[in-house]
Amino acid sequence: MSLSELQHFVHAELLDGGGWNVDEIVTALRDIREQSLEGRQRLSNPPKLPSRKALQEIVEGLTAALFPNRLVSPDLAKGGVDYFVGHTLDVALRKLLLQLQRELLFSSKVETNLPAVRDRAAEIAVNFAQELPAIRVLLESDIEAAYQGDPAAQSVDEVLVCYPGIVANIHYRLAHVLFSQGARLIARMISEIAHSVTGIDIHPGASIGESFFIDHGTGVVIGETAIIGNRVRLYQAVTLGAKRFPTDENGNLIKGNARHPIVEDDVVVYAGATILGRVTIGRGSVIGGNVWLTRSVPPCSNISQAQVRHELFDGGAGI
């Protein structure tokens, strides 16, 4: 390659496109899209899905309204707090109303009765709004439980700003009300926002009592039909899961049946424990770390793992 060829080459490279054939890829992707499962399932003009970004803003707004001065906007004057709360609520609820309309339009899938969708969305939003004070009371009990339960916690405010378990609870308690009102997709999306941020995966269908505390939390999974009493405490990597998935005569999964544990009041489950199936952990029990449990235990049980061997080492778990 001569000098002038090189110059030409470098110049061209700087100015040219990349060499890929956009038309070809666009065409291939369109073909795949049209033949895909989602393509076949849907109407020709698909309704819009709820927006994850909008839901993030909604949860941030609601959190700020529930805990003004603490979590989001620490520069409010005392006389301005109610104006902040009212305005923030109003904006968040209006955004939620739009997302609810999207979910209802999306999930109806048949010829839609638009006014009915709007009525239903408004009804859900109003019901949800009315639950906000009750949610705040439950979160208050969760924060106090964390403060009482962790020797490292120095103040209630530290719990509120530092503990991922509280972040997960805020998302769960908001999502649970929406799930109960039928906004299942939005509820799941809110749960996944918390999952991504905290590593804690609580299905919004689960039922959880007051004063609930998850410490550290990474890897916790709580299934859709789990029922958790009051004053329960979980540590990181605890699973409250399903044991098996029954199928109908056609081999399809049966949906919605009760398949996750019932954890009664005042139970503690230590890190890494796995509890599977519709079993009941009796009130006041303590489940030890890394325990694998697929049967019910009576109240006040203490369950712990078998002892480890102390022997010549033959393998690691590195990667």
The answer to whether the beta carbons of residues 101 and 192 sit under 8 Å apart is no
Asked if residue 279 binds a second copy (CB under 8 A), the reply is no
Asked if residue 176 binds a second copy (CB under 8 A), the reply is no
- Chain positions 67 to 126 lying near a second copy, rule: CB under 8 A, are 68-70, 74-91, 93-94, 97, 105-107, 111-115, 118, 122, 125-126
Ordered DSSP codes for 123-177? HHHHHHHHHHHHHHHHHHHHHHHHHHH-TT---HHHHHHH-HHHHHHHHHHHHHH
Burial of 57 (0-12, 13-18, 19+ CB in 10 A): middle
Query: What is the rounded CA–CA span in Å between residue 227 and residue 219?
Result: 19
Asked if residue 301 binds a second copy (CB under 8 A), the reply is yes
The smaller minimum CB distance to a second copy, of residues 265 and 303, is found at 303
Give the residue, chosen from 56, 230, 274, 296, that forms a contact with a second copy under the rule CB under 8 A. Answer: 274
Mark residues 188-227: x for contact with a second copy by CB under 8 A, - for none: xx-xx--xxxxx-x-x-x---------xx-xx-x-xx---
Give the residue, chosen from 265, 271, 282, 284, that forms a contact with a second copy under the rule CB under 8 A. Answer: 271
Give the residue, chosen from 59, 61, 99, 164, that forms a contact with a second copy under the rule CB under 8 A. Answer: 164
The answer to whether the beta carbons of residues 136 and 63 sit under 8 Å apart is no
Give the residue, chosen from 59, 64, 160, 262, that forms a contact with a second copy under the rule CB under 8 A. Answer: 160
Asked if residue 248 binds a second copy (CB under 8 A), the reply is no
Q: State in Å, rounded, how far the first CA of the chain is from the last one.
A: 46
Query: What is the rounded CA–CA span in Å between residue 166 and residue 162?
Result: 8
The smaller minimum CB distance to a second copy, of residues 191 and 229, is found at 191
